[in-house]
Amino acid sequence: MARCILHIDLDAFFVSVEQALNPELKGKPVIVGGDPQGRGVVASASYEARPVGIHAGMPLSRARRLCPQAIFLRANFSRYRDASYRFVKILGDFSPYIEPLGLDEAYLDVTGCEEPYESPHQLALVLKARVYQELKLTASVGIATCKVVAKIASDLCKPDGLLEIAPGEEQAFLNPLPVAKLPGVGKKTEQSLGEMGITTIGELASLPLHIVRRSLGMPGTALHSYARGIDTRKIEAPGEAKSISQELTFARDTLNRNFLEANLHNLCQEVCRELRSQNKRAKCVAIRLRYADFRTITRQVTLKEASHVTRVILATAQQLLTKAMAQQEKPIRLIGIRVSGLVGEEKQVPLFNSATEKPEHLDRAMDTIRRKYGPTAIRTGNSMSRDSSQMSPWAEERFLIFGSQ
Ligand code: DCP
Ligand code: CA
């Protein structure tokens, strides 16, 4: 029996969450990113802002020039995480086979889950309606017999669309589309294929496999199958996060030690809060520094005992920062922290360890308060100085990255 896969992607996610919370923003060009005067980039743009060419990843300064009347908002990650959680929960009412990708998209295998719906199409309509009723967010949905076709379909019908590719129609659907629509085809692959005179998915599909392999190497095999509408990948439940990281790009390059430490403190707090909410501890702590010339270094150490205590992780990160700054005196553009070697609570450090227990209780109490009243409700020690006016670091902030990077 043919499988029935849905790919569901929320439209203009960060912006739509802001619009759902403040309806005055609806129907207007809205851009979520960092400070438009600074060096941040566009994270999400409303569809009203897109006709002039604004897209994710574009420097905010350029977006401001292209669309001066746009409303610029800073990203509020806890809101997006909350919406994402509720989105995935709704999906769970339609099928247990969910594979979330990032915060705002997921595959759903609904093979055999049609009951009580007349068809996958009707199921998708009900799903879209629920997402809208409960979250005030629109979703675009692709329906197909495999992941790659469902994903391309949802992309093509954005925003607020629904596109079903019937079994057997995959190749005809894909043939005329540009190769760049295939997930995995980036600028470089597009260029390599272009040099071979291949611009559409159909042209790629009709090439003999060994020619594709010669040009693109091993990844060419999968791309060649996808181009022919063949994709046997199953829906995979999200794996355990292998690392948690967060980083920050400054508005101005800096060598100011206090400023760097204050930001490191904030990043550590975020990462440790996430560790605790996942009931995990980390064995390895790494910092990442990007210098003004974009050279990027990573320094890592392994802890004697896995920890999720902010004070412990921060002390380690500070040592790494001290060492790195002693070796290199160039102004810094970006600072990041990553914890990895994650272990579950059952493998925790000895009970009644008075050295770690108190800070841990304090951390947990602070997590509760921040969850209730927002991230700025409490500041401790060094993290306070991040607010001081000569240190306005906020330019670009990516959300917490869970994964194996
Ligand atoms: N995002 C980001 N930086 C990027 C790309 C995306 O911070 N360079 C964040 C903001 C987006 C969210 O991830 O809202 C989802 O990314 P999408 O690529 O799905 O973009 P949108 O949901 O904003 O728009 P679309 O309607 O095209 O899906
Ligand atoms: Ca999206």
Report CA(74)–ligand 1 centroid distance (Å). Answer: 14
In eight-state DSSP terms, residue 84 is: H
CA distance 381 to 383: 6
Average pLDDT over residues 135-150: 98
- As a residue count, the chain comes to 405
The 3 state secondary structure assigned to 346-370 is HHCCCCCCHHHHHHHHHHHHHHHHH
Q: Which residues pair with 291 in a beta bridge?
A: 332
Residue 60 to residue 396: CA distance in whole angstroms: 10
Choose the catalytic residue: 105, 164, 261, 270. Answer: 105
Q: Which of 8, 11, 13 is the best mutation target for the ligand 1 pocket, counting ligand atoms within 8 Å of the beta carbon and taking the most?
A: 13
In angstroms and rounded to an integer, the radius of gyration of the C-alpha atoms of the chain is 23
**pTM more than 0.75:** no
Q: Is residue 99 among the annotated active site residues?
A: no
Q: Which of 369, 336, 350 is nearest to 281 (CA)?
A: 350
CA distance 222 to 201: 13
Region 254-281: mean pLDDT is: 93
- Report pLDDT for 249: 87
> What CA dihedral angle connects 395, 398, 399 and 405, to 10 degrees?
-150
Buried b (16+ CB within 10 A) or exposed e, 16-28: bbbbbeeeebeee
- For residue 18 and ligand 1, the question of a CB distance below 6 A is answered with no
For the CA of 19, the nearest ligand: 1
pLDDT digits (tens, 9 = 90+) for 355-395: 444 556 566 666 655 555 545 444 444 443 333 322 223 23
Model confidence over 49-70: pLDDT tens digits? 999 999 998 999 899 999 999 9
Two tokens, residue 311? 């004070």
| Ligand 2 mean position, distance from CA 8 (Å) | 9
User: How much is the pLDDT for 365?
Assistant: 62
Average pLDDT over residues 144-172: 98
Residue minimizing CA distance to atom 12 of ligand 1: 13
Q: What pLDDT digit, counting tens, does each position of 64-93 carry?
A: 999 999 999 998 888 998 999 999 999 999
Instruction: Round to whole Å and give the CA distance between 141 and 9.
Output: 7
CA 77 to ligand 1 center in whole angstroms: 13
Whose Cα sits closest to atom 1 in ligand 1? 43
| pLDDT for residue 219 | 85
